[in-house]
Amino acid sequence: MLNMPAHITASTGLDALTHAIECYTCAYAQPWPDAVALWAIETLAQWLPIAFAQGQNQEARYKVAMAAMLAGMSYGTESAGAVHAMSQTAGGYFDLPHGVLTAALLPPVMAFNYLGEPHKYARIALAMGEDTRGLSVFEAAELAVESVTRFVETLEIPTLTELGIKQEDVPMLAQLAFDDPQTIGNPRDLTLESYLQIYNSCFE
Ligand SMILES: [Fe+2]
C-alpha cells in the first residue's frame, strides 16, 4: 500500500468511511457492528488525510487498513444504504471507479438522510472530531453532514460533472438506484423522487 497513489488512497478510504457510516445508520444496525463502525469512522477521520498526504507513513497506512477491514466487517454483517444503491448502479453504467463515485455521493445522501437517524448522526459528528457541545441533536447531526462534506472536498474527490455525468442522466440513474436492493436498508424512506432530489442536488 505504501506506493498506492494518493487519489486511490482517498477514494478507497472514503469507500471504507461510507461502509462505516451506512452500516452504523442502516435499518439493520446492531450494537457490535455499531461499535466497530464508530471506531472505523473515528480512525479514518484521524488517519486518512495523513495517509493521503504521506503515502509512506506506515502508521497511517496501518490505521486506514484496520479501519477499512472493520468497516467491511460491519458492512458484511448488515447492509449499506442509498450511497451504495447509487454508486453501484451508476458505476456499472458509466464504468467509473466504485470508491470515487461512492465518495462523491456520500455528502448529498447524508444531507438527505440525517433526519432519519439524528442521534446517530450527532454521534458521527463527534467521531469525525467535531465539537458538538452546546448543540441540539439536530444541529450536531447537521454538523456531521458538513464535516463529511468538507472531508470529501479535502481529499480532492471529483464532482459528478467532473466525472462526466450529466444532469440529463439523472432520471435514468435515479431509477437504477431505486431498483437496487441496498435501498431497503437506508435510514430514511426512499422513493424514486428522493433519488431524483439527491442526484439533482449534485448539480446545484
Ligand atoms: Fe463500497
CATH T-level assignment (fold) for domain 6-201: Dehydroquinate synthase-like, alpha domain (1.20.1090)
CB-based contact 52:32 (threshold 8 Å) = no
Cα(137) to centroid of ligand 1, in Å? 28
**Cα dihedral 198, 157, 15, 120 in deg (nearest 10):** -50
Distances in Å between the alpha carbon of 8 and those of 3, 71, 178? 10, 18, 28
Distance 101 CA to ligand 1 centre (A): 9
Half-sphere exposure of 38 (CA within 13 A, CB side): 15
pTM higher than the cut 0.95? yes
Instruction: Quote the ligand 1 centre to 20 CA distance (angstroms).
Output: 10
Quickly state the pLDDT bin for 157 (edges 50, 70, 90): very high
Q: What is the pLDDT of residue 78?
A: 78
Q: Is the pLDDT of residue 89 over 90?
A: yes
pLDDT (mean) for 6-24? 97
Least trusted range by pLDDT, from 4-13, 77-86, 148-157: 77-86
Supply the pLDDT for residue 76. Answer: 81
Confidence of residue 138 (pLDDT cuts 50, 70, 90): very high
Q: Is 188 exposed, middle or buried (0-12, 13-18, 19+ CB in 10 A)?
A: middle
CA distance 128 to 146: 10
Q: How far apart are CA 21 and CA 35, in angstroms?
A: 11
> How remote is the CA of residue 69 from the centroid of ligand 1, in Å?
12
Question: Per-residue confidence at 77, pLDDT binned at 50, 70, 90?
Answer: confident
Q: How far is the CA of 134 from the centre of ligand 1 (A)?
A: 34
User: How far, in Å, is the centroid of ligand 1 from the Cα of 136?
Assistant: 31
| Spatial distance between the Cα atoms of 53 and 156, rounded to a whole number of angstroms | 11
Ligand 1 centre and the CA of 110: distance in Å?
15
Give the distance (Å) from ligand 1 centre to CA of residue 202.
19
Could you tell me the pLDDT band of residue 5, with boundaries at 50, 70 and 90? Answer: very high
184 compared with 100, residue with greater pLDDT: 100
User: Which phi-psi region, left, alpha or beta, contains residue 134 (left: φ > 0; alpha: ψ -120 to 50)?
Assistant: left
State the distance from the centre of ligand 1 to the C-alpha of 17, rounded, in angstroms: 9
Question: How far apart are the CA of 14 and the centre of ligand 1, in A?
Answer: 9
Residue-level pLDDT at 176? 97
Q: Return d(Cα 142, Cα 116) in angstroms, integer.
A: 12
- Alpha-carbon gap, residue 85 to 176, rounded angstroms: 8
122 Cα to the center of ligand 1, angstroms? 23
